[in-house]
Amino acid sequence: MFMTAPKIALLASSLVSAALASVTIQNNDPLIFFHGRWDSSPGTWWAGSGLKLNVVGLSSLTLNLGSHTSSPMAAVGVSVNFQPFFTVNVTQGSNKIPLGTLPKGENTVVRLNVEGWQNNRINLQNIVLNTGAKLLPYVPSKLAFTFIGDSLSAGQFLPLGVDQAWPFLTGEFFKAEHTVIAQPGAALSDIVSFSNQHGLSFEFFRTEDDGYFFTTDHNFTTPWDFSRDHPTPTHIVIHIGANDSAQNISASSFIQTYLAFIKRLRTLFPKQPLFIFTPWGWPNADGSIGQYYPGAYQTIVNTVKSGGDKNIFLVDTTGWVTFADVFPTNQHPNVGGHMKIAANFEKVLTNAGVKPQANWATPIVKV
Ligand SMILES: *[C@@H]1O[C@H](CO)[C@@H](O)[C@H](O)[C@H]1NC(C)=O
Ligand SMILES: *[C@@H]1O[C@H](CO)[C@@H](O)[C@H](O)[C@H]1NC(C)=O
Ligand SMILES: *[C@@H]1O[C@H](CO)[C@@H](O)[C@H](O)[C@H]1NC(C)=O
Ligand SMILES: *[C@@H]1O[C@H](CO)[C@@H](O)[C@H](O)[C@H]1NC(C)=O
């Protein structure tokens, strides 16, 4: 076939631009596996919310984020091919995510989540991948844990936030999907507590965390559509009460609130085992432990059981956390403390017959 010089030049330049062109994944692409709670912008709320991608031919990944992204930035935990999470600070605009050296000829799984209980909003516009990259479905684990709690579950004070907190560590150990609906300072009772406008007995059923009240662009909450929890949670874990106690909610009122909360949870999660933590308390330098609601959690679990629901388990955390395991200034578990709590809870779950998955459900294979 005969081509004129200008035609050849045109062909060459279109080949070059094809090589430089990239693949843009729109924020409503069904192959983006969203987890946790996202509003319609779409934007994250609650520490741990994020997304997962399974990509062939990946060498470059850029997140383009919109105006509802936390300012000045949001800390995001990133894990490539199920390796440990590292932090990337992202901002509104274009954010290239470092991926390290990727083995050739294999698919790549990228997992990404907001780490913080505040400044945890990323507003996804689109994702730009290198030319030739192609999304495949991310296959979720058969295990899916939902954790409900306060600062002691949200990873407050940890360098990597929720990514170093015991719920997240437990989820990773079991190779499970995991969602952490936890708000520092919040009670279970629906009261104002340490600047949170609502307790978890309200906020758990909303898309937004209590941070909504401190935003001007989204100062409201919307109901969470639980059909968007995918996969459906298989296990529910609750550790709460410290801030009810701090707000002088009586034990009997706390117990009533907790029982009503479980009743409402059962309308959503009728068959899932519920694991109810007793407090490990507030460890002091002299070795003593500040306790709250002694006996209340036993009463809650026994009351539910005597009502015929046997699928509820008390997790007695007595002695799990000592002064060496907490930050001395705020008595919240430190990095090692969270690892210790996770190891203890993993034993409890294993003894209850929950088995860590042998492999992540999305395999890394030759493609
Ligand atoms: C993210 O930003 C925080 C606050 O400025 C900073 O302390 C931290 O080192 C940054 N982390 C990374 C990985 O850039
Ligand atoms: C309760 O709220 C106060 C104030 O934010 C905080 O110091 C305390 O650690 C909180 N406790 C929990 C368990 O969230
Ligand atoms: C959000 O709205 C409430 C009133 O509903 C107001 O008290 C609060 O100051 C608002 N927050 C911001 C950051 O403007
Ligand atoms: C709770 O009660 C204690 C002891 O009576 C009191 O010192 C504290 O101020 C009360 N806290 C609240 C939030 O009402």
Query: pLDDT digits over 240-252, tens only?
Result: 999 999 999 999 9
Let me know if residue 11 belongs to a domain. no
pLDDT for res 213: 98
Percent of the chain at pLDDT exceeding 90: 93
**Nearest residue by C-alpha to atom 1 in ligand 1:** 89
Domain end point (choices 92, 112, 136): 136
pLDDT for res 316: 98
Residue 17 has pLDDT above 60, yes or no: no
Residue of 70, 213, 220 to mutate, ligand 3, most atoms within 8 A of C-beta: 213
Q: Report the domain count for the chain.
A: 2
> Per-residue pLDDT averaged across 285-298, rounded?
98
pLDDT for res 367: 87
Specify whether 176 is located in the same domain as 102. Answer: no
pTM: 0.94
Distance 246 CA to ligand 4 centre (A): 7
Task: Give me the CATH number covering residue 118.
Answer: 2.60.120.260
Task: Give me the CATH number covering residue 334.
Answer: 3.40.50.1110
Specify whether 112 is located in the same domain as 242. Answer: no
Let me know if residue 177 belongs to a domain. yes
pLDDT for res 21: 78
- The SS3 of residue 318 is coil
Specify whether 286 is located in the same domain as 204. Answer: yes
> Per-residue pLDDT averaged across 214-238, rounded?
97
Distance 221 CA to ligand 3 centre (A): 12
Let me know if residue 365 belongs to a domain. no
**Nearest residue by C-alpha to atom 10 in ligand 3:** 213
66 near 41, Cβ under 8 Å? yes
Q: Is the CB of 247 under 6 A from ligand 4?
A: yes
Domain end point (choices 101, 119, 136): 136
Specify whether 107 is located in the same domain as 152. Answer: no
* 57-75 CB burial, b ≥16 within 10 A, e <16: bbebbebbbbebbbeebbb
Residue of 76, 89, 90 to mutate, ligand 1, most atoms within 8 A of C-beta: 89
Let me know if residue 367 belongs to a domain. no
Specify whether 69 is located in the same domain as 215. Answer: no
Domain end point (choices 104, 120, 136): 136
Let me know if residue 315 belongs to a domain. yes
Query: Average pLDDT, whole number, for the chain?
Result: 95
CA distance 38 to 51: 10
Specify whether 28 is located in the same domain as 91. Answer: yes
pLDDT for res 158: 98
Specify whether 327 is located in the same domain as 194. Answer: yes
Specify whether 122 is located in the same domain as 204. Answer: no
Specify whether 123 is located in the same domain as 213. Answer: no
pLDDT for res 65: 98
Specify whether 173 is located in the same domain as 125. Answer: no
Residue of 189, 191, 248 to mutate, ligand 4, most atoms within 8 A of C-beta: 248
> Per-residue pLDDT averaged across 352-366, rounded?
97
Let me know if residue 362 belongs to a domain. no
pLDDT for res 1: 45
CA distance 102 to 129: 14
Quick one: pLDDT band at residue 20, thresholds 50, 70, 90?
low
For 94-144, the pLDDT digits (tens) are 999 999 999 889 999 999 999 999 999 999 999 999 999 999 999 999 999
Residue 73 has pLDDT above 90, yes or no: yes
Residue 287 has pLDDT above 50, yes or no: yes
Let me know if residue 122 belongs to a domain. yes
151 CA: nearest ligand 2 atom = 14
Nearest ligand, measured from the Cα of 220? 3
Among 29-33, 231-235, 363-367, where is mean pLDDT lowest? 363-367
Distance 81 CA to ligand 3 centre (A): 41
The H or E element spanning position 126 is strand 124-129
247 CA: nearest ligand 4 atom = 13
Residue 35 has pLDDT above 70, yes or no: yes
* 14-35 CB burial, b ≥16 within 10 A, e <16: eeeeeeeeebebebeeeebbbb
pLDDT for res 100: 93
Specify whether 224 is located in the same domain as 308. Answer: yes
88 near 161, Cβ under 8 Å? no
Q: Can you give the residue range of the structural domain that contains 101?
A: 23-136
Specify whether 119 is located in the same domain as 174. Answer: no
Let me know if residue 12 belongs to a domain. no
For residue 84, give both structure tokens: 């440990």
